[in-house]
Chains A and B, each alone.
Chain A
Amino acid sequence: MDTLPHRSVVVIGLPSSGKTTFLAALWHTICDHELATKLSFHSLRSGDSAYLNAIAKLWRNAKLQERTFISGSRLVSINLKDQSNTPLVATFPDIAGETFRDMWERRECDSKEVEYLRGGGLLLFIHADNIKSPRWVVDMTAMAKELDVEIPADGNIPWHPKYAPTQVKIVSLLSLLREEPLDIGPRRLAVMLSAWDKVRDEGLTPDKFIEEKLPLLHQYLRQDADKWEWRAYGVSAQGGDYDKLDPKNPQAPASAEAESLLALDSPSTRIQLVYKEIESHDLTEPLEWLIS
């Protein structure tokens, strides 16, 4: 029987937002022992390591993680110790992005996932380089006129919730987490802007990035209607572009960018974590804040 204290961190985000890549890099960092981290390896747990080892292997080899299947939401637990050597079990429900898509579009959720989502602090992943912002017909028409080009518009695609901007979907998701049956009271929220390496040249801090690129989400969080205690992090768990898995040719040579990442002596140094203006390679930092 497990006697260590349990802490739960719920990993959430729309499809392809970087959730599984983060878990893979986290597991590698913890097992690797190379870098000093706020939370560190304590022991292996029976039953949970196979999945983590498999995704960490893909990550080390600079191969893209395949998305978590809709039927593949899983609960993984990692035995860790904090800086005072106190052991704890961190539990991560790794929920498929399609679950969150259904929560927005269909307004429904699997009962098992409801249980997972009631866990604890939240790691919310948003792909910083794949934000769908609203675009308006009038602005597009004006731009086309200025450039003297014609925009084909055959008109009248009926509305569907999937067309909503990223920030609206995220605000809705967070609001749902503060309503029955998902509400467990105020929680900590770490907004993880993934693929940070793709947007860091814009010179924005993660907070400023949310304010500029996701203004509705920023207003929602700043105005505190749902009482989130929140922080924003920029995270590049890959460090660059990885190669797709090719089942027909698993020995295919790595691309130049993947090759440069593989050339690093320590894979953990691919990781970049930015909080305000501070940079590190320590992916456990947001976890430590969420569970402290």
Chain B
Amino acid sequence: MTDVDGNIITCSNPECRVGETGKCVEGLELVACQNYGKAAVEPEKIESDNAEEKSRTNTVVTLSSAAKLTIPEATRILRQRQCKVIAVIGPHDAGKTSLIASMFDLFQEGPVGGVEFASSKTLHAFELACHDARCTSNRAIPHSERTKHGEGIKFYHLDVRGAAAKEGMTLILGDRAGETYRKATDAVEDAHEFCEVDRADSLTILVDGERLLDSAARHDVRSDIELIVQALVEAEVVLHKPRVALALTKIDAVQKSPHAGRAERDFDNILKSLRSIFAGNFTCIEPFKVAASPKFTNFKRGYGISELLNFWLLTPEREWPVYQRFTSATRMIGRLTVIKD
């Protein structure tokens, strides 16, 4: 890349790729960056007669990916340790990616409600999810990349310890496009493929707070949620009666609105309705309010995430029927597969 005068753009910071992207890695204005425009200093070559160095080969070894886990990768982890599978469900733009990203970002600042980060095999995926709410994205308003329809199901991985996680717990967080959940309401057979729901220790169903503020859309919100849950029940992927967290997202926007009271009443009505219609299908349905990546400053970043994390962690260990653990088909592709008679 060249500047307006046709000179090749350079920077003496070895981590900066301003020459490729046109952006300072420190997020500075180019004129304000002390390294911008300076050539990387050619190191003075110090000769070594080290025989090892001379026999150096260039074979590249591939290390483990840090992207989201595929079903076989998640299955491998499920077999190795005590895990909780969490299915985060909601229409598109309800805030699924924001919620997952926000939880990881809270750990960046310290323990979350006493629970501490222990490790993750999906650090690239978490960082990607967090990017659009960070200053490095150069956005004026926080944003979250939507999970694309057609990507299928992938998983985030997080090992945590302490407080509600006690001696250690692995969280496997399902990530599927919201559009896919909505489409299952048109064709219930699609919901048979929701292995993350069938295996879930708990479900987190998101209610989009911003849509509840929209007079034209608010009734659709309730309808969408009820139809999605109905599809899950009809597809028999919740026969194990999981616990459900019903989370009102974007509470910062809700509270800022003159329609805040109405939106919160709508949320309460959705909760009552789900508890009434699906009383026998879930162990419990508990309400939460979150501001995962607030656009307003009336709520702290990650508001409500700690309570949700505790809900996930305190879900009792699921009893696995023997036929699910040991049938050969299940062993081959893991416990995530939906078993039908």
Contacts and interface: CB of A to CB of B under 8 A. Distances in A.
Interface string B10-49: 0000110100010101010100000000000101101111
Interface string A138-168: 1111100100000111111101111111011
Interface stretch (A3-11, A200-208, A217-225, A269-277): A217-225
Interface centre among B57, B65, B134, B141 (most CB of A within 10 A): B134
Contact of B134 (A55, A69, A134): A134
Interface centre among B48, B132, B168 (most CB of A within 10 A): B48
Q: Give the interface residue-count category, chain A.
A: 35 or more
Interface centre among A67, A69, A162, A163 (most CB of B within 10 A): A163
Interface centre among A137, A179, A222 (most CB of B within 10 A): A137
B297 A142 contact: yes
Contacts of B64: 107, 176, 179
A171 B41 CA distance: 30
B317 interface: no
Contact of B53 (A75, A163, A176): A75
B1 interface: no
Interface in B64-82: 64-66
A80 interface: no
B57 A111 contact: yes
B303 to A, nearest CB: 11
B117 A220 contact: yes
Q: Give the interface residue-count category, chain B.
A: 35 or more
Nearest to B141: A137
30 contacts: A48-B48, A50-B47, A66-B43, A68-B43, A71-B56, A72-B43, A73-B53, A74-B53, A76-B50, A98-B14, A103-B63, A110-B59, A112-B56, A133-B108, A134-B130, A134-B134, A135-B135, A136-B301, A137-B142, A141-B297, A145-B297, A156-B137, A161-B124, A162-B25, A172-B123, A179-B63, A215-B110, A216-B117, A222-B116, A223-B159
Interface of B: 14-15, 17, 21, 23, 25, 27, 29, 41, 43-44, 46-53, 56-66, 105, 107-111, 116-121, 123-124, 127-128, 130-142, 145, 159, 161-162, 168, 293-295, 297, 301
